[in-house]
Structure 1
Amino acid sequence: MDQTGQYQGKPSLNDSSSFQLKEACEHWRREIIQAVESGKTVFVYLPEVQEVYIDTGKRNYSGTGHNRATTRIVERYTNYAALPNDLKPVNATGSAMKLAPLGADILAPYWAEFGSVSEYKVRLTAESICPSILTKNGDMAVATIQRSKMSSGALVLLPDIDFYPETFIGRKGEPWTPAAKRFAAKLISCVVALDKALHSTAEVTPEPDWASDPSFVLEPERVLRSELLDVERKVEEAQRRLEETQASLRDAGQLRALLYEKGKPLEHAIVGALSRLGFSAAPYKDAQSEFDVVFQSTEGRLLGEAEGKDSKAINVDKLRQLSMNIHEDLQREEVTKPAKGVLFGNGFRLSSPNNRGPQFTEKCISAAVSSSTALVPTSELFRAIQYLAAQPDDGYASECRAAIINGVGVVELPATPYFEAQEAEAAER
């Protein structure tokens, strides 16, 4: 995942990656809870704790004007957030382990087969833990079985196993060696047997249908069921808001396609960006012609072509297509003069914009100057849109329109006031 940087020696994720991580962990936490409560057995091999700091979305502001500073508020987060209960894991490694003296007999067949290849990566320090496997020295918990109080389901947390040793990796077209296949068959057999044993020894008897008759309902249950309905309604509302916010978030980030897309997705992003700049913009298609985008404002009318290249600059070929399109456009009865040609280029699209070379080849630039065509890097267009999304500025949008309409060769859009302020602040320092 993308990082914003470091905080207290740990990776610090940006807001987008923070959202994705929390969403993924919450998803699996819910899935595990629902599986266990519905009577299933969930096995988890415990990895080492991986810590990051995530963006909470909160900000602290200090200072004013050029001295205004923004501080991101972050919080610690680990991969163990995907599990239902707080195990309070602490990183520790070792292979000297033993079954706990009480309540671990059910694990004995599994442990006889896989104890020798198991290695603990964490110690479980939560006081509520009822350990199933302990370290040989110190009797520290490294595994536990958490049974559901409502069903025959269980969450089985076990020391880790290396599932990809070199002896398991096949050669010459065979992905797995015979040893790997024997190991897999043995593991599946033990896991299935453990699942059956857990269900057969479950102390919870599934409630018979007749026991849920209203005549047997206790008053506290009646109150709690009413509260549960209210909570479920709030959860549904929250889920609906979550889905709406996720959809809005996707829509809000669509114009980032200007940085990495090609083809139709790039064309759609260009249309959206030009609309943000104040142009009336849309793709054009009829029985005879199809143009990536036709756009206009009070300053003039333009016709654009879009091109994206994975790992090289935009070459002169697309200019020929653009020239043909301008002539086709002029042949339409409602068009009285040639449109200004604009080639939108997203060269080196799979690289970060900060690491790209010139977006257009020298030959393409020379031909564009000769034909009075504007060459607009879509990364340059994104920079302008990023500013306007944060700070609506009709004056700046007008300057951008003028730069595109009057530009010949590679167009450099006006610097945003935001970046100008940053440069001025840097100069003062």
Structure 2
Amino acid sequence: MKKDILTMGFEIPGFSNLEKDFSSNISLMDADIIAISPEAISPNGYGWISFSSGGGCYDVSTSARFVENTKHLKKELSDMLELGKTVFLFLNQKQSFSLAINVTSPRKGHNTYNTTSSSNYDFLPINIGKITSASGEKIHFFGNQLFSDFNKKFGHYLTYKAYLENTESSEVIYTGKDKSKVLGSVNRVGSGYLITLPQIEYENEKFIEYDEENDKDIWSKEAISFGNSLIQCLIDIDSKISLESAKTPIPEWANKNEFSTKNALLINESIETNNRKIEEITEKIIQLKDEFAKENKIKDLLFETGTPLEDSVTEALITLGYEAENYNDGVLELDQVIISPEKHRFIGECEGKDTKDINITKFRQLLESLNADFARDEVQEKAFGILFGNPQRLLEPKSRKLDFTEKCKIGAEREKIALVRTSDLFEIIKYLRENENEEFKKNCRDAIYNGLGKIVKFPKIPKQ
């Protein structure tokens, strides 16, 4: 039997026509399945009012429309579920909205708004549990047979933006590393099912192509294949879960061993054994992914900027034998305070540029940091400065032509500040991650100290 699907806030590649707008008050009567992402549930319009004291709310008319749209969707979903239909809810971040119920004007030119709070989950006809916004990719499949094909095909596209707690009345599909944090569940509602799942994320670069003839973006063949597969999976889940609900639930007494064949008991034991193996393997994969991410963090030296670059530089310095950490006392913040085994003290600043070289702005900031650090009562001797630069960070290192501007180089020579290209630092750290060589570490530290006033030239990496 053909199944009709509608989506809201959830665009299936190749099937954009299925997506309906939250504010349209559309009837869901003709749909057998609906897939919703709460990301689409928000007040529509430009009716935001900012308060002079900070914060704000949506105006009365915008708020009233949102409340009405929410009530309408809630009623439509409730009717669907009572009729035995299926709702897929792809969990997204929980958002709260301040809505104006009414407004008064106690004096001319001043409005007072009576407000209430609402969220992008208020359209749900049932309580699915406590919803907490959190993001990540460590998702554990609980082995529910109905979702095994979905997990096989789309498990690697899943990422979570929220988790559920206190879901005792639901059947778990996915959890986080902490099994009490539910990322997917089956909820029986009336004669239908409300199924929560993590978000599905795909790469737009692979799924969208440019149609030169019609001057517009179109779905790629890969995207359409993905969309077809996803729709079929949702239909299959709906069909199987509907079939199961038509059967009489097994009475508790019928689960006793005396009513099972020996073969059934062996099969069940095998299932439990394999589920334990799956759990062990899943835990191992999570551990390996953590180790992989940690090991790959040195790559941030090649292409990152901001805090990720600062963190990778700090780790690199520790690998070289320095003591290094960020400093922030609420007044003064320093990217790195660095102390070498030779008792040389440095202040480090980091900067990454997409397409340009490292300019004088960050250099001046480093000078200010050095002076502010020296002004602290506990500092008796002025530190040396190191400017870590990642110019043209989006290019492969061998293709980069720029490093530091001429003004930076002149200033560094005058102020005796070391200039370090983080791409050079990467090669050093990569070698030291693979080889224990204390002498080479010392030579690298000497290169930085002796390189004060210029671009640091690290020693050649020993032949392996």
**Structure 2 CA distance for partners of 1:198 and 1:38, relative to 1, 3 Å:** closer
Say yes or no: does 1:209 pair with 2:317: no
For residue 195 of structure 1, report the CA deviation from its aligned partner. 6.6
What is the match of residue 38 of structure 1? 146
Counterpart-to-counterpart distance in 2, 1:297 and 1:39: 55
Change (3 A) 1:390 1:216: same
Aligned length: 262
> Which residue identity does 2:454 align to in structure 1?
G
Opposite residue 227 of structure 1, the aligned amino acid is S
Indicate if the aligned counterparts of 2:346 and 2:386 stay in contact, CA closer than 8 A: yes
Distance 2:439 2:431 in 1: 12
Q: Which residue of 1 aligns with 2:48?
A: none
Paired position in structure 2 for 1:313: 357
Q: 2:403 aligns with which of 359, 372, 378?
A: 359
The Cα shift of 1:164 comes to: 9.5
- 1:15 equivalent in structure 2: none
Deviations 1:243-272 (A, max 9, x none): 111111111111211111111111111111
| Structure 1 stretch displaced more, 331-340 or 395-404 | 331-340
* Cα separation, 2, equivalents of 1:386 and 1:165: 37
Q: Given that residues 302 and 405 in structure 1 are in contact (C-alpha distance below 8 angstroms), is that contact kept between their aligned partners in structure 2? A: no
Give matches, 1:122-201, under 5 Å: none
**Conserved 8 A contact 2:392-2:402:** no
- Tell me how far 1:231 sits from its aligned partner: 2.2
Q: Paired residue for 2:23?
A: none
Matching of residue 267 in structure 1 with residue 310 in structure 2? yes
Structure 1's 388 and 207: CA in aligned 2 closer, same or farther, altered over 3 A? farther
Distance 2:327 2:416 in 1: 22
1:146-191 C-alpha deviation (Å, 9 max, x unpaired): xxxxxxxxxxxxxxxxx99999x9879x989xxxxxxxxxx99x97
TM-score normalised over the length of structure 1: 0.52
Equivalent in 264, 269, 278 of residue 226 of structure 1:
269
CA distance in 1, matches of 2:248, 2:443: 72
Quick check: which has more Rg, 1 or 2? 1
3-state SS in 1 of match to 2:372? helix
Match among 279, 282, 286 for residue 325 of structure 2: 282
Q: Could you tell me how far apart the structure 1 residues matched to 2:298 and 2:238 are?
A: 55
The RMSD of aligned alpha carbons is 4.3
Quick one: structure 1 residues 340 and 397, their matched pair in 2 at CA, closer, same or farther if it must change by over 3 Å? same
% identical aligned pairs: 33
For structure 1, the residue ranges without an aligned partner over 5 or more in a row are 1-26, 43-80, 84-162, 177-186, 422-429
Amino acid corresponding to residue 209 of structure 1 in structure 2: I
Greater displacement, 227-236 / 324-333: 227-236
Give the corresponding residue for 2:130.
Answer: none
* Change in 2 beyond 3 A, CA 1:254/1:221: same
Equivalent residues of 1:277, 1:400 under 8 A apart:
yes
Give the letter aligned to residue 255 of structure 1: I
Find the aligned partners of 2:370 and 2:420 in 1 and give their Cα distance: 17
Q: CA deviation at 1:230?
A: 2.2
Cα distance in 2, alignment partners of residues 287 and 304 from structure 1: 18
Q: CA, structure 1 residues 227+319, in 2 after alignment: closer, same or farther (shift >3 Å)?
A: same
2:457 aligns to what? 412
Contact 1:295–1:302 under 8 Å retained in 2: yes
Q: Is the 8 A contact 1:41 1:195 kept in 2?
A: no
Query: Is this contact kept in 1: 2:346–2:384, CA < 8 A?
Result: yes
Shift in Å at residue 334 of structure 1? 2.3
Q: Which residue of 2 aligns with 1:297?
A: 340
Alignment check: 8 A CA contact 1:271 1:282 kept: yes
1:231-250 correspondence to structure 2 within 5 Å: 231-250=274-293
Whether 2:388 is the aligned partner of 1:344: answer yes
Q: Secondary structure at the match of 2:448?
A: helix
Q: Secondary structure at the match of 2:327?
A: strand
Distance, in Å, in 2 between the alignment partners of 1:250 and 1:197 is 37
TM normalised by structure 2 equals 0.49
Q: Residue deviations 1:18-68, cap 9 Å, x none? A: xxxxxxxxx99x98x978x428997xxxxxxxxxxxxxxxxxxxxxxxxxx
| 2:147–2:237 CA contact under 8 A, matched in 1 | no
